[in-house]
Structures are given as structure tokens and as C-alpha cells.
Structure 1
Amino acid sequence: MLRSTRTRAAFVAATALVVTGLGQVPAQAATDSSPAQLAGTWMTGNLNGDGLLTGAYADDKGETQTFTDYGSSVDLALSLDAVGGDAATVTRITDAIAAQVGDYTAPWGDVYAGSSAKAMTLAVSQGRDPRTFGGRDLQAQVEGRVITTGASTGRIEDLSAWGDYANSIGQAFAARALTAAGSSLADEATDYLLLQQCDAGFFRLDFTKDKAAADQTCDGASGAVDADGPDVTALVALQLAAIESPDADVTAALADAKTWLAAQQAADGGFGSTDNGANANSTGLGGWALAELGDTARATKAATWLRARQVVGACDGKLAPETGAIAYSDEALAAGRKDGIADPLDRVQWIIAGAQGLAGLASAPATSAKDKVTAPRFAKAGSKVTFTVTGLAAGERGCLSGAVGTRTLVGTGSALKAVATLKAGTRSVTLRTATATGTSSVTGTVTVLGKKKLKVSLAKKQVKRNAKVKVTVKGLARGERVTVKVRGKKVATGTANAKGVLVRTVKVGKARGVARVAVQGQYATRTGTAKIRVR
């Protein structure tokens, strides 16, 4: 049954406009804005000439058809608004929705409650008057779709010859928008929404079919109710969290939703469903909702999952032009790298994933370490050489190229290793990462030394006992370590100069006869000898 009508502190006079909306994603220590900015830039690049996103599908003849995707456009605007930093695009989308609000919410004489409530949410979140949004009284339109008598009081319903498809997502937008506008039906809409929360903590998608049934609650539904993923609960929680000065019932519902959402997160930070597995839409919405509800640790894990599936350009094959895009899944990322996403039927999945996943990236962790690739100064040809990569934040994808081939690294927040067996020569490895301002690259270099006979020359051919002789070694690498021995005894060490030369003066000892002067470079495969007569 419906709870008694409440008086919220957030309400003012019914005729006044109270502007609310999701605030900035809660500030967290050491977050990185770059991934969300990159995603936003990519999404903005997909807006059509009207300032809206375009959807696509294959008709029954297999031909591609396109349409204006109003719902995803609103999702994008709300996500960009939550992340912040691109008010101009949010305004552009809001203006475009206003210009076509009739086509979106009431096409062909029908009136769709969910679309109407979602458009009204966008309007009030941007400080627009819902009474005159796009020349339409959107508030009256939403209020007109709220049932005001009987067991289903507060429930929204569609007016359409095609049937009633209103559900809890649209109900959540209605509760948020009507509350923000100070509507007299806000309490009823919110009350009915809270009835859709199951005892486990999640919100069901579909309402009770019989609008006259006395029990309209989730737990009163006939048969089992399957949450099948976090999306509905996350979307509902986001709308409820945007209500100013919520009462105890809303606060309790959010607490239960938060607990349930937290339990749905996989160990790697992802969210998904039985049918779809882990995916960017579910993870983006789940992470965003948890951030709004104050669970920053799990929001960070979700952002890390998302970032690990964000295109960085380099290393991403045919996705190279799509820097910032968020892949729906691991399979989508692999397919996109192979085939690209120029086909509208392929691209639409990425667009929807970006619209709902973008705000989840706002919790991406930063790293204090700078991008760097380090390697030993020298390595022996044919041996395994380890390059150490630092500076990649958790989930951040980087592209390594050069001596190790081309490979993708996913950051953990700690140093990473890349190992390769190298031939002689100067070998370099470059790390490329995507930033909000372009591509960043750093390079590490190692000198790989192969087998070599070093040239050893002595200043004299013969000397007296205990005399000294100048030894010159050529053919070395700059900085190469050198050991000099006379008759097997180490008498000098040093490093080669910039020209690859080492000069040392050594004692020949007191033994008469021919003395062998042996030189070894960095490795035992790099040697040279000379002889001197001791009188």
C-alpha cells in the first residue's frame, strides 16, 4: 500500500521551479579526469548536425536504418553534466532535445511517460522551465501520465495504441523531475517508485501488470523477480540521489540499493548480467551510482574496469581513430581492433556504451608516477632484457612498441615489466598513452652488445721488470665496463669514453718473458689480447 503523503523540505510553492540534478561526481582523492574527458570528446564527435546521437538497426530486409536516438542523447547530456567540464555540449544537446521534444515524447499522437519524464529531468537539471520546454508544457504532460486514483496511484503509464511500456526507469525520472519542479504529484510518483524495490534491495524493471491489483509491490509480485543486472537499480538510485532533502524512506531505499549494488560487483570491478556478462553500460551505471552513494572504493574499481577497455589509439588497430571510445565488452574491443567500427550497426553499440559508461570513468584513479620506460644500460645479445614501465594508472592502457614488438599494457598502479630477447645494437622501447590533450610518449633505450674481438694496443713492445705500459682498448661501446689483466691478474678497470676507447697504464710485474695482456668488455664474449716482452 502507498505510504502517506509527505512534505519534503525540498518543496517550495507548487508554482516555483526548484532546479536540482545530479551534482558533480563526488570528489575523491587522486582521481584522473583524462579518461572521462577523452570519452566525452569521442562521444561529442558522434553528435549529428542537430546535436543529437544517431542510432541504427537492420530492418527485416537486412538493410541498415538510422534514427535519432533521443534517449541516449539525454543519457550523454546527464553524464557530461555529472562529470563537468563541457557545459557547452550539455547546452547543445538540451537545446536539441527541446527543439524535438514532441517527436521524442509524443510522436504520432501517443504520449510516452518514460520519455516525457526523462526529457523533463534534463530540462530541470539544466535550469530550464519544464512548463515551456521547447514550447511544450512538459510538466503537465508528465503529470497527465501519473495515475491519481486507486491501487496504482502515482504510477506512470503510456498513452499509446501500441500498449503501455512504462517501467521503473521512467518512474524514477518522473519522481526526480516532478520533485525538482515542485509538482503536487511528486510524492505519489516517488511513493510508487519505492514500492518497486524488492526486499533484496534491487528495483524491478516491470510494474505489476494489473493496475487494479491491491498489491503493487515488487515482493507482492506473482513468481520470482529477477534483477538480471544492476542497470535498473543503478538508474533508479541515480535519480533518487538527485532529490534534494530526501525523506527517511528515500534515504533508506538508497541505502538498501547501495548495499545490493556493492554485492553485484565482480572482483575485477565490472558489473554485468547473466545474459550479457560484464559490460560497459552496467559497469558505468553501477560505478556512477556507487560514487553518488559514497562508495568511492567500489566506484574506483568500476572506473578501473572501464578504463581498461577504453581505446588509446596506438596499439588498437583499426580503432586507432577512435581514441576515447569505451568498448562494450572485451569481445567488442577485440572485434573493433580487427574490423573497426565505421559500420553504423557496429558503432551504435559503442555510442550507447559511451553514453552510459562515461560518468563511471570520473572515478578513475590517478598515479603520482610519471610515464617512464627504463632498461639496463647494457644487455648481452641473445639474452632476455627486462624493460620496466611506470606511470600507468590502474586500468590505464598504454601501447608499447619497438624492441619488444607491439603490445598493450594495462596499468595496475605499480611498475610493469616487458621482457624481450634482443639482437646486438641500440634497441628502444616507446610507451604511448592517450591524454586529454593528445598522445604522450616516452622511450627507454638499451645497448645490446654482441660477441666482439676488441682491439688492444700497447705503447711499447718490451719493458723492464716492474715497469708500466700504456694499454689502449678500442671497439668498445660508450660507457662499457672493461677489465684489464696481465698474466691473468687484474691490474685495471674502467669504462669506455664517448668514442668507445679505454686507456690505462698498468704494471707488467717482475716476471721476465712474454706477458699476455687480456682485456674483457661488459661480457665474456667481448675480449681482446696483446703481448709484451718483459726484460
Structure 2
Amino acid sequence: MPPPVPSGAFTDRSAKGTPLPTFALRRVGAVTATALVVLAATPLGVGAAPSPTHAVAARDAATWLAGEYADGVLPGPFTPEDWGLSIDGVIALTAAGVAGATRQAATAQIAAHVRSYNSYDDWGIEGFTDGGATAKLLYVASAAGADPTDFGGWDLRAETLTLLSGTGTGHQHGRITSRTTEATGPDPSNTFDQSFAVLGLARSGGTPQEAVDFLIRQQCTAGGFRLYPDADGAPSASCDAQGNATLDVDSTAMAVQALLAAGATAADEAAQRGADWLVAQQRADGSFGGSGPTSGANSNSTGLAGQALAAAGRDAEAARAAAALAALQLTAANAGAAAADAGAIAYASDALTEAVRDGIAENFRDQWRRATAQALLGLAQIPLGRIGLDLPPSGEPTASPTGPPTPTAPPSPTRSPTPTAVPTLTVSPTPSTSPTGGPTPSAVPSTPTPTPTVTAPTPTSSATSPAAGGPGRLPTTGVAIGGYVLTALLLLGGGAVLLVLGRRRAT
């Protein structure tokens, strides 16, 4: 059986008038000191928010995409539901901050169909678990504000950790792998899968260093990352060890964002070298192309690369990528025959021209859904490690996205041609023989969590708030430092007042 392929291309109340006892004053001092420690630990590098025009474009794109959902699901080219694309949509809608009800419905549907996405159970082939799909589920659960340790009954963090290649596997140590059987063929995991694993683990409690190290080994000396960690049918030790390695914009963009979220040894340096390589690949009009059949300029590659550049603090290049994406968007002013689909983003300029002339034909809507879901990430410019944590762009000229200094942390993205050949963040396990339907399997508890060395302690998860992550060393988060300065000053001032009052009371 051939490996699965992607289907195309994240109140406070205080008593008034009540004297504070001495222990309360000591508590105020402790809180003040803690605030100063948090302030000192907060990265000072704050990246620029997207322009108001591009923020509005991101919201328009997300609004159109939300309208393509039916009962919380986006359809595929051959099926009424495409779980990988539906996940991409949730990530996109969360980044843009629109259609909350649609996001909730989609998240619930995805949680109810975990095994429909990361296995072949629906096709009657048992025993297979797709590592990249599992890692992407872990990521979207965290980004959507769900509990990744109980997502549809699955502990996705524990499951992802069990799928990391363990000690004794040499240069494969730390690789996200699939649980395969003789019927399912070899492990199909790639650099997209590894990036999602690093992102998801970073956002749910911390990433083992070996997972980060494996991702870094997929980077060549030039700075770019390869998509496939295997060469000549066998795992290769590193990108440089593969003499004919093809460096890929999409894979590099994913890896850069994962490394920035990891907060692990050597991760930041590798991420910045990857960003340097991306800058060198940017075309004169701001666009990017992928590799192989997607090497032409396209909105999928441009969206991911622009998002990664914003995450790495390359604001000028990220803005140029956003401008290239905006040029591919249908608007009320330019949509022509596709006026009903204003907001959607074309995969390439020829698709835009055709839609303006003839509208979006039904057999091409799948391409537009995939292109829009990935492209708007480059317009919103919130890193994958921060989606669901930072406030989305408002589109208002005076707005400045702010968010908590919460550390952070996308199956996977092998690109496979659909009828429209659009690369995507999506991958849906699809056996070579596809029955017309299958029962929805019930969730089964995952295997116990292994105990690799993790870079950060696991926080308590919450089903109503994004999972906390590791150290989260993203240089571009859109977080304004002024809020933390003001908070610290208020705490200091309050502590001083309470101290004076306490002394007067003692006197």
C-alpha cells in the first residue's frame, strides 16, 4: 500500500475599606516580586502587526472560508468530509478571530472523529496510527482552546509522545513515526509532521529535546529544510548527508515556526538560519513557490512563508508576502462573476483570472478552500506557535494585538496533487482502496505516556483555555510590552501604598 497522501497541498474582587493584616502585606510584596520576574523574562522583541489592510483581508478570507463549512465540516474533492482540511480551516479561523460558532462546531466534529483522521479504521484496516495526523490533532486541540489530553476521549499528548522514535534508533531518535502494519506499508512521516509534533508538544507541556534535534537535522547547511527525511528508500542521517536533498519553502516555513516555539537548545539559531534562506527565496513581487509540482508562485507557499517570516521578525519581507497574497484575493471591487465568493484567495493568478471571468466552478471550490485556509495565515501574521494565544488582528488602524506572555508551542502536510494540485497543511490517511463509507469508530484511550526528557513541566490542561506550552521563545508574537510594564508599576505602587498604610496602622 502506498503511504497516505494529503488531500491537497490553529474577576478579580478585592475587599474595600478592610484593613489588610501583616501577612497580606507580605503577600503583596511577593506578588510584586513575581510580576517583576515575569516582566524580566518576557522577550522585548515585538514584531509589527500586519497592516490594517492585510488584517481586514485576513478576516474577509476567514469569513468566506467559514461559509464553506457544513455542520462543522469542510468537504473534500471526493468525500463529504475532509478532516485534514477541516483542521486547516479551524487553524485559519482561529488566527483571524472570526466565526466562533463555526470554530466550536468544527472542533467538536474533529474531536468526535479522531480515528477517522489518524487511522484507517473507517476503511476496515486496523492497527495503523498516522504519526503526523496525531501530531496535527494535538496542535489543533491546543490552538482551538480544547484539552489536548482529553480530545474526543484521546490523550493526544501521550499518544504523540509514544510515536516518537526512542533511544536505540540512532539518527532517527526523536522522529515522529506512524504505527504501521504489514498491510499499511512503511512510515510516511515527513518534516511537516515533525514540525506539528514539536508545535503540539510545545503547546501542551514541553517538547523533548530529541524531537527538536531530529527536526534540526532536516536542515541543510544552506538554511532550508527538506520535506522527506528518507533517501533512496531508507532514512538518511541528515539533510547534508543526502547529496541530492531538495530544499522546500513550505517545509522550511513550518520548521522555522516549530523551532521558534520549541524553546530548546539550538532551536532559535536554526530557525533564524531558516528564515534567512526563506528571505533569499522570495520573489520580486513578494510571493513564494514550493518545490516539485508546486514550484511556481502560489498562495499556499506564500502564506506559510509569510507567516514564518513574521514569526522570525522579518517584518518587511512578511509585509511583501502579504501584499502578494492580497493581490490574489477576490474582493467586492474585483470579483466580477465571482462576487458571491468575495474574500476567497486564489491558488495562483490564472485561477483568479478564471474566477473573475466565469465564477468559481464547483469542481474548483476545493482548490479555493485549501488555498484560502493556508494563504490567510500570511495575512494575519500570527505564528503557528501563538494562534489561539495572541489576539487576532482587528483590522483597525489603531489596534495593537496583545496577548499573554504565554509560551507556546501543524497531519501533516505532505503535499499530494488533488484535481487542482494545491499543497496544504492537510493530510488525510487514505488507503489505496477506498470503500464508499465506513462506520465512525468510537474513541479508545491511548497508550500510556512514555517518559522522555522534556524541556518544560506539563501544566494543568483546561478545556476552556489554550494549553500552556514550553518556554515559548518567539521573537514575533504581537504582544505589547507596555501592558506588562504598566501592570508591574501598578503592583509596585499598590504595594507601596499598602506598606505605608500598614506602618501607619502599626504606629
TM-score range with shorter-chain normalisation?
A: 0.5 to 0.7
Maintained 8 Å contact 1:80/1:359: no
Taking structure 1 as the reference length, the TM-score comes to 0.57
Q: SS in structure 2 opposite 1:224?
A: coil
Q: Which has the higher contact order (CA 8 A, sep 6+)?
A: 2
Sort the Cα spacing of 1:366 and 1:33 in 2 relative to 1 into closer, same or farther, 3 A.
closer
Q: Distance in 2 between matches of 1:225 and 1:201?
A: 12
In the alignment, does 2:276 pair up with 1:254?
A: no
Sort the Cα spacing of 1:254 and 1:76 in 2 relative to 1 into closer, same or farther, 3 A.
same
Alignment partner, residue 422 of structure 2: none
Structure with the higher helix share, 1 or 2? 2
Q: What is the one-letter code of the residue matched to 1:138?
A: L
Correspondence 1:400-439 to 2 at 5 A:
none
Q: SS in structure 2 opposite 1:216?
A: coil
1:86 Cα deviation (Å)? 4.4
Structure with the higher strand share, 1 or 2? 1
- 1:328 pairs, out of 347, 356, 360, with 347
Q: What is the one-letter code of the residue matched to 1:159?
A: R
Q: Distance in 2 between matches of 1:241 and 1:35?
A: 26
Maintained 8 Å contact 1:208/1:217: no
Maintained 8 Å contact 2:209/2:265: no
Correspondence 1:175-254 to 2 at 5 A:
175-182=198-205, 186-209=208-231, 216-221=237-242, 223-228=243-248, 230-243=249-262, 246-254=263-271
Sort the Cα spacing of 1:293 and 1:83 in 2 relative to 1 into closer, same or farther, 3 A.
farther
Q: What is the one-letter code of the residue matched to 2:239?
A: C
Alignment partner, residue 69 of structure 1: 82
Q: Distance in 2 between matches of 1:192 and 1:87?
A: 36
1:232 Cα deviation (Å)? 1.0
Alignment partner, residue 153 of structure 1: 173
Maintained 8 Å contact 2:50/2:379: no
Alignment partner, residue 288 of structure 2: 271
In the alignment, does 2:73 pair up with 1:52?
A: yes
Q: Distance in 2 between matches of 1:349 and 1:85?
A: 21
Taking structure 2 as the reference length, the TM-score comes to 0.60
Q: What is the one-letter code of the residue matched to 1:154?
A: G
Alignment partner, residue 117 of structure 2: 104
Q: Distance in 1 between matches of 2:257 and 2:75?
A: 25
In our comparison, the structure showing a higher alpha carbon Rg is 1
Q: What is the one-letter code of the residue matched to 1:156?
A: I
Report Cα offsets for 1:185-224 as digits up to 9, x if no partner. 62221121111111111111111358986x6211112x31
Report Cα offsets for 1:452-500 as digits up to 9, x if no partner. xxxxxxxxxxxxxxxxxxxxxxxxxxxxxxxxxxxxxxxxxxxxxxxxx
Q: SS in structure 2 opposite 1:272?
A: coil
Sort the Cα spacing of 1:181 and 1:367 in 2 relative to 1 into closer, same or farther, 3 A.
closer
1:122 Cα deviation (Å)? 1.0
Alignment partner, residue 146 of structure 2: 128
Correspondence 1:386-465 to 2 at 5 A:
none
Sort the Cα spacing of 1:296 and 1:278 in 2 relative to 1 into closer, same or farther, 3 A.
same
In the alignment, does 2:335 pair up with 1:316?
A: yes
Maintained 8 Å contact 1:43/1:325: yes
Q: Distance in 1 between matches of 2:193 and 2:303?
A: 19
Report Cα offsets for 1:305-349 as digits up to 9, x if no partner. 111111114443321110000011111111222332231x31111
Aligned length: 329
* Identity level (%): 39
What RMSD in Å do the two structures reach over aligned CA positions? Answer: 2.6
Maintained 8 Å contact 1:168/1:196: yes
Q: Distance in 1 between matches of 2:116 and 2:394?
A: 40
Q: What is the one-letter code of the residue matched to 1:225?
A: A
Unaligned runs of 5+ in 1: 1-23, 57-64, 369-535
Q: Distance in 2 between matches of 1:359 and 1:306?
A: 10
Sort the Cα spacing of 1:242 and 1:91 in 2 relative to 1 into closer, same or farther, 3 A.
farther
Q: Distance in 2 between matches of 1:328 and 1:211?
A: 32
Q: Distance in 2 between matches of 1:26 and 1:46?
A: 31
Maintained 8 Å contact 1:313/1:319: no
Alignment partner, residue 11 of structure 1: none
- 1:41 pairs, out of 54, 58, 63, with 63
1:84 Cα deviation (Å)? 2.9
